[in-house]
Amino acid sequence: METIYSADWLLPIEGAPLKNGAVAFESGRITRVGTSAELGAGRRFPGAAILPGFVNAHAHLEYASYTGFGDGLDFGGWISLHLQRKLALSFEEIVAVARLGAAECLASGITTVMDASFSAASPRACSELGLKAIVGLEVFGDDPDAALRRFEELRAIAQPALSDKVRLGISPHAPYTVSTEVYAAARELGLPLVTHLAESADERAWLTRGEGRLNALGNVLLPPTGETGIRALARAQAIGTGTVAAHCVDLEPDEIDLLASLDVAVAHCPRSNGYLGCGIAPLTSLLAAGVRVGIGTDSPASAPSFDMFEELRTAVAFARARERNPQVLTAARALELATLGSARALGIGDEVGSLLPGKRADIAIVALDETSLLPWEDAQAAVVLGGSPERVVLTVVDGETQYEKGEFEWDVLRSASAAARGRMLAGGREARAVER
């Protein structure tokens, strides 16, 4: 049976905004898009805009309760503290944290995430809450055999939660914790691959000269290679189509060209890069070179939240500030990057990221009726500049409502996650085996 939603505006992304727009869907797919006069009003959302669900190109759901940990530390000190604290939690505690992360994504209008998972807890959380995901299971080290054995251990934990909606990937962590040989072995699996690349000047200093503040990582840190991660991985043919590189802040012009020529996609995470003092990624240069770019929230370990609206506003502000030009990134273009752009970066643009007949019915509805943004001048700018999780009234995944404002068990989700945060803050630093 066909369902119809209508609102003041419909923002299809592929196509001009429709005033008094409506979307119809059935059996998980969009069937019709048009005006409410053409389709009928169905369920009407006054003072609201209907848009595709956001596609979060880089997240760590398992770190939802880490907000503020190590704030103000340099990158090396921050990541060292982060690695220590997460070892204090049991697997069930990590699942509880990841549930909160998945819920917060849905509340921000996010319908799909590309997640990097340390413990394989996030597939279960996504499956339980109805959030679509590609989950890259994290591997570390310089030994391909050992790394792939660890991947298979994590795959076994994740397997019961995997489906068409929660898909498997692999995540070699970063070039300073993972050798090119491990990257190459990971890529040979033929799975989506997500990694952290060119995130900071500290990364370049360590890899090229053996200097800088990453030495705080101790035995997790691999010896310097004498060249940047991008150059080393390109030379080893260890990245390419199917690779999503998060951050890409500290880039030389030839490295941007390398990413484009290899068809490596980039997940732009401006808040994380700003809070950690890593810098501002060259977004306009990446786009001009033809790199597929999406927007990622990263996690509350480095950015305060999974709030995609704040991420979009930061992306706009940083791009304009870096280029000293208010026209380099419009609100409409930013909205496109967080929907269709992210979907294309993840290789799923044919299925999600815009509101077109035949695509999956992944929908977010944002109400601005209690803001100063009405009456509407530019609906896309209004959503970007005025949207927030508090103004998301409905998030639909594959035609099923997975979040509705006022009907979510936040107390249960937050209390379980807070208990896990308390254990980390209590100083439990012993390395506990992650248990099922």
Tell me, yes or no, whether 422 lies in a domain: no
Q: Are residues 165 and 18 in the same domain?
A: no
- Are 111 and 93 members of one domain? yes
Q: Are 398 and 361 in contact (CB under 8 A)?
A: yes
Residues 336 and 202 in one domain: yes
Which one of 351, 383, 416 terminates a domain?
A: 351
**Shared domain check, 391 and 294:** no
Q: How many domains is the chain partitioned into structurally?
A: 2
| Same domain, residue pair 345 and 362 | no
Residue 213 maps to a domain: yes
The answer on 60 and 48 residing in a single domain is no
- Say which CATH number the domain at 167 has: 3.20.20.140
Q: Is residue 203 part of a domain?
A: yes
**Position 101 in a domain:** yes
Q: 351 — phi, psi (to 5°)?
A: -105, -35
Cα separation, 237 vs 129, in Å, equals 37
Task: Report DSSP letters for 180-205, one per residue.
Answer: HHHHHHHHTTTS-EEEEES--HHHHH
Indicate if 177 and 71 belong to the same structural domain.
yes
Does one domain contain both 151 and 34?
no
Q: Does the residue 426 lie in any domain?
A: no
Q: Are 244 and 266 in contact (CB under 8 A)?
A: yes
Residue 307 belongs to some domain of the structure = yes
pLDDT of residue 435: 34
252 shares its domain with 368: no
What is the extent of the structural domain holding 211?
54-351
> Is 119 in a helix, a strand, or coil?
coil
**Beta strand 363-367 with 293-295: parallel, antiparallel or unpaired?**
unpaired
Using CA atoms, how far apart are residues 312 and 342, in angstroms rounded to an integer?
12
Q: Which residue has the tokens 């054995």?
A: 149
CB of 169 closer than 8 Å to CB of 114: yes
Q: Give the pTM.
A: 0.95
Could you state, in chain order, the average pLDDT of each consecutive group of 10 residues for the chain (436 residues)? 97 98 98 98 98 98 88 81 80 93 97 97 98 98 98 98 98 98 98 98 96 86 96 97 98 97 98 96 98 97 95 98 96 98 98 98 96 94 97 98 92 83 70 35
Same domain, yes or no, for 331 and 239? yes
Neighbours of 237 (CB within 10 A): 12
* 218 domain residue, yes or no: yes
Same domain flag for 333 and 297: yes
